[in-house]
Amino acid sequence: MRNASDTTSTRSTDRGDSPVVRVIRGVQILAVIAAAVGVLVFPLTGPGPFILSVGVVILSYACMATGWNFVGGFTGYISLGHAAFTGLGGYAVGLLILRADVPPWVALVLAGLIVAALSVPIGFASLRVRGASFVIMSLALVLIMLLVFQSWSDVTGGSNGLRVPRPFGPEVLRPEQHERFYYLHVALLVIMLVVWWAIDRSRFGAGLKAIREDEDKAQSLGIPTFNYKLSVYVISAFFTALAGGLYALWFGFLDPIFQFSILTGSYMVLMSLLGGIRSLLGPALGAAIVGYAIEFFKAQYGDTQFHLVALGLLLGLVVLFMPEGILPSLGRLVDRLRPSATSIREESAEDLANKNAAAEPRAQDPEETETVLVDDNGRHL
């Protein structure tokens, strides 16, 4: 994995006024604008209800993956259990409408807030541990939610499921529904991206990224690591719940098996990793690729379990060969075109010496953490 200092070094090259850099930036901006226009215009091209519904599903995945990336991208805590929040969001919307007669859109916002409140104690317990223990906790969260929502059938409908009433009247036909939900998902995604971007540039975001790189050092520098982690976890839960709630309003039916599915959680992780968890648009790009692939596999192989094998294979390959994702890999490819990467060095010997000096302790990082571990053991022994 790259270190935080790498980003600053690439950023400093951005400021160079060489025409190549400007062209690259221009191409990047054009690509983003083209993608945005493409997403917005897509329903107007008359794709037909089925293709449009696939578009809604992919956008829903993009919302979930971006929501996941608030925790995964900033802090590096990989949660395999974010499906618990989409499921809770969906059920909260459904139950608020059915049992409390709350108007659908108010219910959606309330559901986000309720899940955010629930995520405080959950985060309090699970963020006390790191790494693998955290992943275990997140998996346990989905499994426990599945148990609860299946067993507590008086309220949740149990395995029979829960029918969520449509927010639009009967005069709105299905293609029209798809189109409206398509744009609602786009709006939610844009809000999330703006918030992610704002955090990314803030002091809060810098602290979170410091946690990702080295939590102990971040803490010793005075960052209130636990509060930071918990805050971003709650933000992530809120947005993930909104994505789940919006999906519930669109799909209109909730079944615990699908709402609290480990698969949904792993889709979010796979999409974000594939796109690149450190970049703003990475999860959305990953969602577009993986979401399309999932729909394709389902259409091709239907009911067989083969899509699980494909998903597992894809996840394994990404983890083994591209753990940083597509966007960072592309970025590095583009970096080669930049002036600093030409065969003639444009940096002074002093710069180079500083760079090497900075790179040296970094190269030893794994050993360093290993030694700390040994020390720790020694103390505990």
**Per-residue string for binding with another protein, 62-101, x by CB under 8 A?**
--------------x-x-x---------------------
The smaller minimum CB distance to another protein, of residues 246 and 318, is found at 318
CB 212, CB 75: distance < 8 Å? yes
Q: Which is nearer to another protein, 109 or 118 (CB)?
A: 118
AA identity, residue 191: I
Nearer to another protein, 187 or 308 (CB): 308
Cα–Cα distance measured from residue 246 to residue 104, given in angstroms and rounded to the nearest whole number: 10
Smallest distance, another protein to C-beta of residue 53, A: 25
Round to whole Å and give the CA distance between 146 and 137: 14
Between residues 351 and 376, which has the closer beta carbon with respect to another protein? 376
208 binds another protein (CB under 8 A): no
> 372 is written with which tokens?
């700390």
CA distances from 123 to 11, 144, 231, 244, 349 (A): 33, 15, 9, 19, 48
Binds another protein by CB under 8 A, chosen from 320, 333, 344, 349? 320
- CB-based contact 111:241 (threshold 8 Å): yes
The number of angstroms, rounded, from the C-alpha of 124 to the middle of its chain's C-alpha atoms is 20
The residues near 18 (Cβ < 8 Å, ≥ 6 apart) are: 338, 339
CB of 16 to another protein, least distance (A): 30
Tell me the C-alpha distance between 308 and 266, whole Å. 11
Residue from 167, 307, 326, 331 that binds another protein (CB under 8 A)? 307
For the bound state, the minimum distance from the C-beta of residue 71 to another protein, rounded and expressed in Å, comes to 12
Report which of 230, 92, 252 is spatially closest to residue 167, judged by C-alpha positions.
252
Q: Which of 293, 315, 322, 330 binds another protein (CB under 8 A)?
A: 315
Burial 287-309 (b: 16+ CB within 10 A, else e): bbbbbebbbebeeeeeeeeebee
Q: Is residue 348 at the binding interface for another protein, with CB under 8 A as the rule?
A: no
Q: Is 98 exposed, middle or buried (0-12, 13-18, 19+ CB in 10 A)?
A: middle
| Binding flags for another protein, 244-283, as an x/- string (CB under 8 A) | ------------------xx--x--x---x----------
Candidate segments 161-169, 239-247, 285-293, 303-311, binder of another protein by CB under 8 A = 303-311
Kindly list the distances between the CA atom of residue 367 and the CA atoms of 43, 358, 372, in Å, as whole numbers in the listed order. Answer: 53, 16, 9
Q: Is 372 in the site for another protein (CB under 8 A)?
A: yes
CA distance 185 to 176: 14
Segment contacting another protein (CB under 8 A): 12-20, 47-55, 139-147, 350-358? 139-147
Q: Does 370 bind another protein (CB under 8 A)?
A: yes
Separation between Cα atoms, residue 43 and residue 152, nearest integer Å = 40
Does the footprint of another protein cover residue 377 (CB under 8 A)?
yes
Which tokens go with 347? 């940096």
| Residue of 4, 113, 120, 129 interacting with another protein (CB under 8 A) | 129
Give the max Cα distance, the chain: 73
Give 137 or 327: the residue with its C-beta nearer to another protein.
Answer: 137
Q: How many residues bind another protein (CB under 8 A)?
A: 56
Please report how close the Cβ of residue 25 comes to another protein at its closest, in angstroms. 30
- The DSSP secondary-structure symbol of 158 reads G
**Does residue number 359 form part of the binding site for another protein (CB under 8 A)?**
no
State the residues that interact with another protein by CB under 8 A: 1, 76, 78, 80, 124-126, 128-133, 135-137, 139-140, 143-144, 147-148, 150-151, 262-263, 266, 269, 273, 304-313, 315-316, 319-320, 323, 365-366, 369-374, 376-377, 380-381
